[in-house]
Amino acid sequence: MKEAIELGLMALVLSDMALLGIGLLSTCIRIVAFQGVLLGLFSVAVNWGFLTPRVWILAAVSGLLKGVVYPLLLRRAVSDAGVQREIEPYVGPIPSVLAGIALFGASVWIGGRLPLTGAAEAGSRLIVSASLMTLLTGLFLVAARKKALTQTLGYIVFENGIFAFGVASVGEIPALVELGILLDAFVAVFVMGIAMYHINREFDHLDADRLNALKG
Amino acid sequence: MQTFVPWIQFGIGLVLSPLLAGIVNRTKAFFAGRRGQPLLQVYYDIAKGLAKGAVFSRTATWIFRAGPLIGAAAAVTALALAPFGGRPAAVSFPGDPILFLGLFGLMRGLTVLAALDTGSSFEGMGASREVFFSALTEPVMMLGFLALARESGALSLSGILNAASLERPETALVAVALFIAFLCENSRIPFDDPNTHLELTMIHEVMVLDHGGPDFALIQAGSAVKFWCLGSLIVNLFLPLRPDWPWTANTAAGLAAMAVLAVSVGVVESVTARLRLNRVPQLLAAAAALSALALIFSLG
Amino acid sequence: MNVRPFALLLWFPILIPAAAGLACRWMPSPKWIFRTVLATAAADAATAALLVWGTASGGRLFAASGWLFLDALSAFHLAVMSAVALFASVFSRSYFTAEESLHGFDRGRARQFGGLWCGALAALSLVLLSNNIGVMWVGIEATTLLTAFLICVRVTPESLEAMWKYLMVCSVGVAFAFMGTLLVASSAKRLGLEPMEMLLWTKLSENASAMGALPVKAGFLFLLVGYGTKAGLAPMHNWLPDAHSQAPAPVSALFSGFMLSAAMYCLMRILPLVEAATGRVGWAAHLLAGFGLLSILVAAAFIPFQKNVKRFLAYSSLEHMGVVAFGIGIGGAGAALFHTLGHSLAKSLAFFSAGRLGQDAGSYEMKTLGGSLKRGPLWGSGLLLAVLGLAGAVPFALFMSEFQILRAAMATAPAWVVVLFLSGLAVVFIGALHHAIGMAWGEAPSRSVPENGPFRPAAVETVLVAVMLILLTGLGLWMPGPLRQGLSAAAAVVTGAPSGLDAWSVWTGGPTP
Domain ranges in chain C are 290-501
Residues A137-170: tens digit of each pLDDT: 999 999 888 888 888 999 999 989 988 888 877 7
Give residue B88's pLDDT: 85
How much is the average pLDDT of A192-197? 85
Residues A29-80: tens digit of each pLDDT: 999 999 999 988 888 887 777 778 878 888 888 889 889 999 998 888 888 8
- Which residue of chain B has the CA closest to A106? B296
Q: Measured between alpha carbons, how far is B59 from B50 in angstroms, rounded to an integer?
A: 23
Give residue A116's pLDDT: 64
Give residue C123's pLDDT: 95
Residue C79 has pLDDT above 50, yes or no: yes
Give residue B243's pLDDT: 74
User: What's the Rg (C-alpha) of chain B?
Assistant: 19
* 3-state DSSP percent of chain A in helix, strand and coil, to 5: 80, 0, 20
Strand partners, A147: A207
Residue C511 is given by DSSP the state P
Domain ranges of chain A: 2-208
Give residue A184's pLDDT: 80
Give residue A210's pLDDT: 78
Tell me, yes or no, whether chains B and C touch by having 3 or more C-beta pairs under 8 A: no
Residues of A in contact with C137 (CB under 8 A): 181
Reported as a pLDDT band with limits 50, 70 and 90, residue B19 is: very high
- Given a contact cutoff of 8 angstroms between Cβ atoms, the answer to whether C27 and C111 are in contact is yes
- Which of C161, C204, C225, C305 is the best residue to mutate to test the A interface, defined by the most A CB atoms within 10 Å of its own CB? C161
Residue B259 has pLDDT above 80, yes or no: yes
Residues of C in contact with A118 (CB under 8 A): 186, 189
Residue B33 is given by DSSP the state T
Give residue C469's pLDDT: 93
Reported as a pLDDT band with limits 50, 70 and 90, residue C501 is: low
Residue A172, helix vs strand vs coil:
coil
Residue C42 has pLDDT above 50, yes or no: yes
Give residue A186's pLDDT: 85
- Which residue of chain A has the CA closest to B282? A94
The chains found to touch A (3+ Cβ pairs under 8 angstroms) are B, C
Reported as a pLDDT band with limits 50, 70 and 90, residue C511 is: very low
The model carries a pTM of: 0.86
Q: Between C296 and C446, whose confidence is greater?
A: C296
Reported as a pLDDT band with limits 50, 70 and 90, residue C453 is: low
Reported as a pLDDT band with limits 50, 70 and 90, residue A117 is: low
Q: Measured between alpha carbons, how far is C36 from C21 in angstroms, rounded to an integer?
A: 9
- C242 contacts A214? CB cut-off 8 A: yes
Of C52-61, C250-259, C384-393, least confident by mean pLDDT is C52-61
Q: In sequence order, what E strands does C348-463 have?
A: none
For chain C, say whether A50 makes contact (Cβ under 8 Å).
no
Q: Measured between alpha carbons, how far is B102 from B152 in angstroms, rounded to an integer?
A: 22
Residue C279, helix vs strand vs coil:
coil
Residue C451 has pLDDT above 60, yes or no: no
Say what percent of chain A tops pLDDT 70.
91
Give residue C86's pLDDT: 95
Residues of A in contact with C148 (CB under 8 A): 191, 195
For chain A, say whether C502 makes contact (Cβ under 8 Å).
no
Reported as a pLDDT band with limits 50, 70 and 90, residue C507 is: very low
- Which of A43, A160, A177 is the best residue to mutate to test the C interface, defined by the most C CB atoms within 10 Å of its own CB? A177
Residue C512 has pLDDT above 50, yes or no: no
Gap from A7 CA to chain B (nearest CA, Å): 6
C245-to-A139, A194, C32, C231 alpha-carbon distances in Å: 26, 22, 28, 16
Residues C218-260: tens digit of each pLDDT: 899 999 999 999 999 989 998 999 999 899 999 999 999 899 9
Closest C-alpha among B188, B199, B191 to residue B136: B191
Contacts 24+ apart (CB under 8 A), A65-68: A65/A36, A65/A182, A65/A185, A65/A186, A66/A32, A66/A33, A66/A35, A66/A36, A66/A37, A66/A39, A66/A40, A66/A156, A66/A159, A66/A160, A66/A163, A67/A33, A67/A34, A67/A36, A67/A37, A67/A40, A68/A33, A68/A36
How much is the average pLDDT of B265-282? 87
Gap from A199 CA to chain B (nearest CA, Å): 33
For chain A, say whether C215 makes contact (Cβ under 8 Å).
yes
- A199 contacts C164? CB cut-off 8 A: yes
